[in-house]
A = this chain, B = another copy of it.
């Protein structure tokens, strides 16, 4: 395991980077900005995928798959979209390598230059709307509710595991509707679906809202979002859902015949969450001992560690443990019985603490004699001794309790880190000393947003959906404002 983690208080950023690697979640690869998601980290992501995928299907969406590559010309068709993505995209220019004539290795074969360069998708609106043109003729073809699980590439200059990587995994929903109202309802529904997933699966409380104009997706009319708060007081955008108006339908000429037989452009949404959620999950719950996972997403929910001397004792423990393992599995609980003889119990305890396994059982000689288990919960690190007969019920209850407890803890933290401020000085002070979300009046201009960002590094996170109308004055310019916007430093 190596030496202990850097503590959060000492260096939050270093703590995160170390934790991701030490807990076997991910690591940097030999390719700049691209990560390797290790089996343990990927198992968590798979559970996220399964949870989300079911929610998408339950709300009528189907999965499909569109090409990795986007012809350069497609990107240009929607003006603000190309502006947003052209500056950070991987460009394929050739389709073959050859042996260098001087024998120095393999080089790009200049005879195999593409007529039109291809962009590795940074997001798929353009290629998908080029396809939808063929799929949509009539109102009968609508709504079209499609999702794709895919990898995308944005050439970020400063990358961090899960939070910002050149390649990342995500899902992107792309829907087409007959009316503006329906499309807005879809975008809004997905924001609520994302919030539901974040809160009830990830145990991550979020604030639902809409983005200000300058923070909107490139090509969107409105961007709905969920914003989470990390333990260092920085916000993290955890998911976005965009109402695209008719922008892409017009750019790609996607029209349909309505019930009256008249041609109209289609209304659109797109929405996505990515492996960035892994970063949110890690930073919301984990502590100085390592990862803390919500039971619903933990690849191993219960680990059982035998404490023994010699094979005979191990056999007795195994005999005691086997029926419990069987019963837990029959209840759909994932259990690992770690009887490896290559590592000592203390090493195993540290390992599972680091990896955030919610419940740990230990069984030693005394437990054999007394028919007990020692049970420990990862979130509070509390331990107790229970009788074997109570184990299944105790474990079941504990898993539910941990799920609830870590959510409550994060929710309490979030609620105590939303501060109303009424002056720019107070804003700067709270930002510096406390962090978190700051609710302030703002004049609604991008100019003021830019100034605040430059001077404080804080950005508008969202206008909460439950925002209260309240007359006030912009903390910077003094111009009138009718509601508070949430600001924060963000990942």
Contacts and interface: CB of A to CB of B under 8 A. Distances in A.
Interface in A429-485: none
A70 interface: yes
Given A31-B118, A31-B127, A96-B88, A82 B106 contact: yes
B64 A39 contact: yes
A105 B169 CA distance: 30
A236 B42 CA distance: 32
Nearest to A95: B155
Contact of A34 (B29, B68, B96): B68
Nearest to A99: B86
A458 B453 CA distance: 67
Contacts of A130: 29-30
A63 B42 contact: yes
Contacts of A344: none
Interface string A64-81: 111111111111100000
A106 B30 contact: no
A153 interface: yes
A37 interface: yes
A35 B67 contact: yes
Contacts of A392: none
Copies of this chain in the oligomer: 2
A131 B36 CA distance: 8
Contacts of A94: 90-91, 93
A108 B92 CA distance: 10
A62 B42 contact: yes
A97 interface: yes
A89 B69 CA distance: 13
Given A88-B95, A93-B93, A29 B127 contact: yes
A58 to B, nearest CB: 14
Given A69-B34, A72-B106, A120 B120 contact: yes
A241 B46 CA distance: 25
Contacts of A27: 131, 134
B86 A62 contact: no
A96 B85 CA distance: 9
A342 interface: yes
9 contacts: A30-B71, A31-B71, A34-B68, A68-B153, A72-B97, A73-B105, A88-B96, A93-B94, A97-B119
For the complex of A and B, the 4 pairs showing the least CB-CB separation, nearest first, are: A34-B67, A39-B62, A37-B65, A86-B97
